[in-house]
Chain A
Amino acid sequence: MARFKPKPKPKPRKRRKMVRFRDRAKCRFCRENITYIDYKDTQTLQKLVTTRGKMLSRKRSGNCAKHQRAAARALKRARFLALMAYVS
């Protein structure tokens, strides 16, 4: 009696495109060779915060340590001048 059906062979996994990895290999500021993150550039800073105004972690923003520190500095300056919210 054939009680146990033979398991179907697993489909071969599709290979992910390497371009995607290469794109994310560097942080967004490293990719564009940005050395200074300006506190006046609120459009860029908005991308680095949540809807509540809290700063994204490095894991979520993809920033390198150097640019994460620079972004944090810029964000704090922008918050002081009421360009960005502390909390919302």
Chain B
Amino acid sequence: MPTGKQTRVYEAMFLVDTRDAAIWDDLTKHIEGILARGSAELVGITRWDERKLAYPVAKHKRGTYVLTFFQMSRGDGVSGIERDCRLSEKILRALVLKADHFTVADMRAQLGEDIREDVAKKVMDARGEKEPPPPEADADGEEAAEEPSAKEAAADKPPDAEPAPPKPPESPEN
């Protein structure tokens, strides 16, 4: 675990076989194990997408992408993680990148509910980031709640006018 040293956040994308991804718990444990061996602390792990590959990789035409964010001490390096990924039979491809340009809000947008709030808070504290203001979201929610009511009010009025149009077509038929 990163303590005392300066930490850095990394983004890792893993390409795995769709069959392996079906057993999600095993796969996450496997990836978490690789990251833990590299003394990394996981911010979040999510199933990014399952799609047809642009070209076959190890004879696989389809694959599942697993997106993770993790923080690690600067001195530890990611070479150990990359080596473990190459040796792993479940992981077809892995790409580890620096994610310093991503704010915690960006990570939350990408990870969704799979973000680990305690680690995310640590990252925010280390970076000196502030949490996005929740009152704005509430205010939007209120506005959104108000809008339908206004629409309903408007919708209530037209029914008086609406029944009139169907009548004229009936009269020509008669």
Taking Cβ atoms with an 8 Å cutoff, the residues of A that contact B are 35-36, 39-40, 77, 79-86, 88
Contacts and interface: CB of A to CB of B under 8 A. Distances in A.
A82 B53 contact: yes
B43 interface: no
Contacts of B15: 81-82
Interface in B79-114: 93, 95, 97, 101
A86 B55 contact: yes
Interface of B: 13, 15, 48, 53-55, 57, 63, 65, 67, 93, 95, 97, 101
Given A40-B67, A82-B63, A85-B55, 18 more contacts: A35-B101, A36-B101, A40-B13, A40-B48, A77-B95, A81-B15, A81-B65, A81-B95, A82-B53, A82-B54, A82-B55, A82-B57, A82-B93, A84-B54, A85-B54, A86-B54, A86-B55, A88-B54
Contacts of B95: 39, 77, 80-81
The majority secondary structure among interface residues of chain A is: loop
20 contacts: A36-B101, A40-B48, A40-B67, A77-B95, A80-B93, A81-B15, A81-B95, A82-B15, A82-B53, A82-B54, A82-B55, A82-B57, A82-B63, A82-B93, A83-B54, A84-B54, A85-B54, A85-B55, A86-B54, A88-B54
A81 B13 contact: yes
A36 to B, nearest CB: 5
Which residue of A79, A82, A86, A88 has the most chain B CB atoms within 10 A of its CB atom? Answer: A82
Contacts of A83: 54
B121 to A, nearest CB: 24
Contacts of B93: 80-82
Nearest to B60: A82
**Considering the complex of A and B, which 4 residue pairs feature the smallest CB-CB distances, nearest first?**
A82-B53, A85-B54, A82-B54, A36-B101
A86 to B, nearest CB: 7
Nearest to A84: B54
A73 B67 CA distance: 19
Nearest to B52: A82
Contacts of B67: 40
B1 to A, nearest CB: 28
A14 to B, nearest CB: 45
A39 B97 CA distance: 11
Nearest to A80: B95
